[in-house]
């Protein structure tokens, strides 16, 4: 099912699925009962572009923290519930806008019915969050001959039936695994047979470039197949890094238009300047000033101007002097010490 054809689901004051843009989400890395720190982290992530944030509910202290957290943040909060349905009831009454349930550890129908009834009353969505590491063991035993990705899909379908039997349809699905191929196949398979919106992500992907590369390798084919209505890149890092990585990935796939593009050359023996720090400072400047254009930072004028011709503006380095170019054409020569300031001035002129 194409992402635009998925069902539209309301999460607080925003919508996911259907024609709505892909939403970016992350998860707090702090215990939920540490309320002030959690609020700070959620607000920092929201300022960076998070549309939704999730917190874990491990105990009653966490569950009762939700009310104060919700009252001090500006984006919808998702609560992650495992094992104890009572945590879900408290979270819903406290203002959570979406509840994530794991079919692997919350499958008593009477308990699910209680959650569903309250979710209906409070207009709260439920994400059926299937994870290959905690599949429903009844399904695993019953279909032991099936491949993992099929078991993941089957777990989601079985749980959807339970919720639909209680006349509940405000559903989002995730089908995660730490195995890239299982994840891709599960989402592709599921999207052929259902129009519920999908939260996509690769779980436990790792840290820094390890996690980023694995997640991008997994999520790009899905996004290019028009699969996925919300996205999380799960990293062993601060959640703020997850938000920035999601934005960059979506932008590079033309799915997050209002964001700057920075091109910088890999450098070679011709390069006589410190390109990486110039590129970093330029990207920071573009992001801080919301200038959504393409800028090239190149190591030499010999090839830099031509190679950076798709950029709106660029800087080509040289010993003691730099060249500012626009759309692949020479604009002016500037001293090395003034190069960035001159570039930033021209960038702001383009913005206005």
Task: Quote the tokens at residue 272.
Answer: 């006589």
Nearer to ligand SF4, 7 or 326 (CB): 326
SS (H, E, C) 258-289: CCCEEEECCCCCCCCCCHHHHHHHHHHHHHHC
**Taking the complex as a whole, how short is the minimal distance between the CB of residue 273 and ligand SF4, in angstroms?**
9
- Taking CB positions, which residue lies at the least distance from ligand SF4? 299
Alpha carbon distance 314, 196 (integer Å): 44
Task: Quote the tokens at residue 157.
Answer: 């379908």
**H/E segment holding residue 155:** helix 148-165
Cα–Cα distance list, 304 to 286, 300, 314 (Å): 20, 5, 9
Nearer to ligand SF4, 210 or 302 (CB): 302
**Taking the complex as a whole, how short is the minimal distance between the CB of residue 305 and ligand SF4, in angstroms?**
9
**Taking the complex as a whole, how short is the minimal distance between the CB of residue 271 and ligand SF4, in angstroms?**
4
**Taking the complex as a whole, how short is the minimal distance between the CB of residue 311 and ligand SF4, in angstroms?**
12
Nearer to ligand SF4, 40 or 270 (CB): 270
State the CB neighbour count (10 A cutoff) for residue 292: 14
- Note the residues at the interface with ligand SF4 (CB under 6 A): 265-268, 270-271, 298-300, 302-304, 307
**Taking the complex as a whole, how short is the minimal distance between the CB of residue 322 and ligand SF4, in angstroms?**
13
Nearer to ligand SF4, 101 or 298 (CB): 298
Alpha carbon distance 268, 291 (integer Å): 29
Nearer to ligand SF4, 125 or 311 (CB): 311
**Taking the complex as a whole, how short is the minimal distance between the CB of residue 179 and ligand SF4, in angstroms?**
37
Task: List Cβ neighbours of 99 (8 Å cut-off, separation of 6 or more).
Answer: 78, 79, 81, 88, 91, 92, 115, 119, 124, 125, 126, 127
Nearer to ligand SF4, 294 or 303 (CB): 303
């Amino acid at each position: 099912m194409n992402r635009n054809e998925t069902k539209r689901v309301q999460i607080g004051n925003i919508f996911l699925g259907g024609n709505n843009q892909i939403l970016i989400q992350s998860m707090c890395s702090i215990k939920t009962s540490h309320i002030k720190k959690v609020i700070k982290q959620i607000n920092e992530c929201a300022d960076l572009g998070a549309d939704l944030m999730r917190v874990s509910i491990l105990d009653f202290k966490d569950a009762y923290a939700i009310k104060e957290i919700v009252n001090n943040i500006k984006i919808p909060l998702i609560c992650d519930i495992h094992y104890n349905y009572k945590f879900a009831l408290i979270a819903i009454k406290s203002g959570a806008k979406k509840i994530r349930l794991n079919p692997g550890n919350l499958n008593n129908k009477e308990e699910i019915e209680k959650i569903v009834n309250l979710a209906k009353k409070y207009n709260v969505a439920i994400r059926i969050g299937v994870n290959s590491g905690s599949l429903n063991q009844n399904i695993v035993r019953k279909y032991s001959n099936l491949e993992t990705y099929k078991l993941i899909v089957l777990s989601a379908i079985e749980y959807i039936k339970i919720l639909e039997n209680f006349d509940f349809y405000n559903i989002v699905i995730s089908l995660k695994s730490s195995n890239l191929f299982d994840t891709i196949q599960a989402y592709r398979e599921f999207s052929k047979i259902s129009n519920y919106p999908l939260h996509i992500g690769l779980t436990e992907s790792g840290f820094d470039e390890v996690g980023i590369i694995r997640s991008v390798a997994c999520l790009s084919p899905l996004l290019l197949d028009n699969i996925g209505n919300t996205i999380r890149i799960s990293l062993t890092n601060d959640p703020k890094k997850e938000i920035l990585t999601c934005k960059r990935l979506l932008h590079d796939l033309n799915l997050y238009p209002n964001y700057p593009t920075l091109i910088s050359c890999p450098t070679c023996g011709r390069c006589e300047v410190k390109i990486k720090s110039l590129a970093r400072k330029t990207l920071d400047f573009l992001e801080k000033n919301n200038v959504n254009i393409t800028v090239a930072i190149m190591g030499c004028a010999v090839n830099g101007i031509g190679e950076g011709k798709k950029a709106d503006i660029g800087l080509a380095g040289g010993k003691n002097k730099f060249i500012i170019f626009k759309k692949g054409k020479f604009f002016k020569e500037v001293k090395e010490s003034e190069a960035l300031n001159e570039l930033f001035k021209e960038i702001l002129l383009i913005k206005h």
